Chain A
Amino acid sequence: MAKNCWKARCAVANGIARVLRGLGQRVTSRIWRLGYASRFFLAILLHSGTALRRLHLTIREIYFTGVLSLIIILVSGLFVGMVLGLQGYDTLQRYGSTEALGVLVSLSLVRELGPVVAALLFASRAGSAITAEIGMMKATEQLSAMEMMAVDPIARVVAPRFWGGVISMPLLAALFSAMGIFGGYLVGVQLIGVDEGSFWSQMQASVDFREDILNGVIKSFVFGIIVSWVAVFEGYDAEPTAEGVSGATTRTVVTSSLAILAADFILTAFMFTGT
């Protein structure tokens, strides 16, 4: 009887130990991965000399991440702006202040929607492509082949993709915002008939260059770094199999989207609180 009881206690203790071990393992592996990602980031920065010296490598990546994302960014920007125009008008006309439509559309686009939605689209359009490309290069042992030929794959493959993304992102966000404001103008002024003069003049009176536009650009720049970093890291770290690459691509989109939203909250808390 006493012995049985002892055995049962032992089993419980073992079970708890197993759970704790599993937890500890997960935490340490997460931290290890984070550290690896940070070291990888430093390695990219150290090797970016090549990416900038052999500029055509980076230009090629700007073409693939930036130019090919133009269509989706422009069309989504236009539609987001048009929807903001319709919804904003619907709410503002209850208070008889439809002239403030320009302010509403431009501030929400320049401060938040432009950088954030453009970054989310960029993560799913370009980030996933970068991860898949680097992951496939790893799976087909092209990266190892480069190392064999004494070509550093971080300098030759990773850094140009990183910088291409970082350069493209602010430009895409600016295009998204501009297109969205144009969409708001189309719906608000041309379709509904808000006064054109007050639409633009109130917008200009309340949108500040440094406070609103520059902060939006800083945001999109930070998001560009986040998306590109996550994308190249997941690609480089992917398991060299078909499943590994597909898992890495999914992780890129999920991780970078969550990181964008979290970073957006932190940046907004620093930029737009207080007077």
Chain B
Amino acid sequence: MSRTTLDLWVGFFVAVGLGALLFLALKVGNMASSNSGDTYAIHAKFDNIGGLKVRGAVKSAGVVVGRVTEIRFDPEAYLAVVTINVDARYKFPRDTFATINTSGLLGEQYIGFEVGGDTAMLKAGDTIKKTQSAVVLEKLISQFMFNKAAEDGGNNK
């Protein structure tokens, strides 16, 4: 086989292989959508984070505005401290309300920002004061059962 045909085939092979990598990066992975741009870190303290994970989404009005980067336990306050990297394009008021929500009934958990009315904005290193913990399904069900039982007891009297 002549040298040029060989080079042609190898060039074709390398191009196709790199194309496959590009396909994996752009179409399969989230490289295109993942914000490689600037972010700033803020903290939020929760009584209970439920099933929240590192790399979990942070959404406001349903749009992903950041990611959870670290979760640790504060041994003095007995609270979970979640560090969030928020996209630098988005600014939130200081009285933003952070809640832990679940997408769907059994889906993964994410942090939702409900925007407040303060004129001062959150800066890097700030801590969100108003938070709402994850809803624990078992607690909810048991509460509902107790209420129901109490109601029935009242009716029978």
Tell me if A36 counts as interface (CB < 8 A to partner B): no
Tell me if B116 counts as interface (CB < 8 A to partner A): no
Bound-state Cα–Cα, A177 to B29, Å: 12
Tell me if B88 counts as interface (CB < 8 A to partner A): no
Which residues does chain A contribute within 8 Å of B31, judged by CB atoms? 209
Tell me if B89 counts as interface (CB < 8 A to partner A): no
Tell me if B33 counts as interface (CB < 8 A to partner A): yes
Q: Interface residue count for B (Cβ, 8 Å)? A: 27
Interface string of A179-222 (1 = CB under 8 A from B): 10100000000000000000010011101110011000100000
Give the residue of B14, B18, B28, B54 whose beta carbon is less than 8 angstroms from that of A110: B28
Among B6, B12, B28, B33, which residue has the most Cβ atoms of chain A within 10 A?
B28
Tell me if B27 counts as interface (CB < 8 A to partner A): yes
Give the residue of B6, B16, B28, B54 whose beta carbon is less than 8 angstroms from that of A213: B28
Minimal Cβ-Cβ distance residue in B for A200 = B27
Which residues does chain A contribute within 8 Å of B24, judged by CB atoms? 110, 174, 177-178, 181, 213
Question: Is the CB–CB distance between A175 and B34 below 8 Å?
Answer: no
Which residues does chain B contribute within 8 Å of A204, judged by CB atoms? 27-30, 33
Tell me if B157 counts as interface (CB < 8 A to partner A): no
Question: Is the CB–CB distance between B17 and A175 below 8 Å?
Answer: yes
Tell me if B139 counts as interface (CB < 8 A to partner A): no
Question: Is the CB–CB distance between A209 and B13 below 8 Å?
Answer: no
Q: How far is the CB of B30 from chain A (nearest CB, A)?
A: 5
Question: Is the CB–CB distance between A178 and B10 below 8 Å?
Answer: no
Question: Is the CB–CB distance between A59 and B10 below 8 Å?
Answer: yes
Q: How far is the CB of A258 from chain B (nearest CB, A)?
A: 26
Among B7, B14, B25, B29, which residue has the most Cβ atoms of chain A within 10 A?
B29
Question: Is the CB–CB distance between B17 and A170 below 8 Å?
Answer: yes
Q: How far is the CB of A103 from chain B (nearest CB, A)?
A: 10
A45-80 interface (Cβ within 8 A of B):
56, 59-60, 62-63, 66-67, 70
Question: Is the CB–CB distance between A67 and B10 below 8 Å?
Answer: yes
Give the residue of A178, A212, A217 whose beta carbon is less than 8 angstroms from that of B23: A178
Judged by DSSP, the binding face of A is helix
Bound-state Cα–Cα, A157 to B129, Å: 68
Q: How far is the CB of B13 from chain A (nearest CB, A)?
A: 5
Q: How far is the CB of A226 from chain B (nearest CB, A)?
A: 19
Question: Is the CB–CB distance between A207 and B28 below 8 Å?
Answer: yes
Minimal Cβ-Cβ distance residue in B for A172 = B17
Question: Is the CB–CB distance between A171 and B20 below 8 Å?
Answer: yes
Bound-state Cα–Cα, A106 to B13, Å: 22
Q: How far is the CB of B24 from chain A (nearest CB, A)?
A: 5
Question: Is the CB–CB distance between B10 and A175 below 8 Å?
Answer: no
Question: Is the CB–CB distance between B6 and A63 below 8 Å?
Answer: yes
Give the residue of A59, A67, A213 whose beta carbon is less than 8 angstroms from that of B29: A213
Tell me if B115 counts as interface (CB < 8 A to partner A): no
Question: Is the CB–CB distance between B13 and A66 below 8 Å?
Answer: yes
Question: Is the CB–CB distance between A66 and B20 below 8 Å?
Answer: no
Q: 17 A-B contacts, Cβ less than 8 Å apart?
A: A59-B6, A63-B6, A63-B10, A70-B13, A106-B28, A171-B17, A171-B18, A171-B21, A172-B17, A175-B17, A177-B20, A204-B27, A207-B29, A208-B29, A209-B29, A209-B30, A213-B25
Please give me the 8 A-B residue pairs with the lowest Cβ-Cβ distance, nearest first: A171-B17, A178-B20, A209-B31, A209-B29, A174-B20, A275-B54, A174-B21, A175-B20
> Which of B's residues lie within 8 Å of A, judged by CB?
3, 6-7, 9-10, 12-14, 16-18, 20-21, 23-25, 27-31, 33-34, 53-55, 71
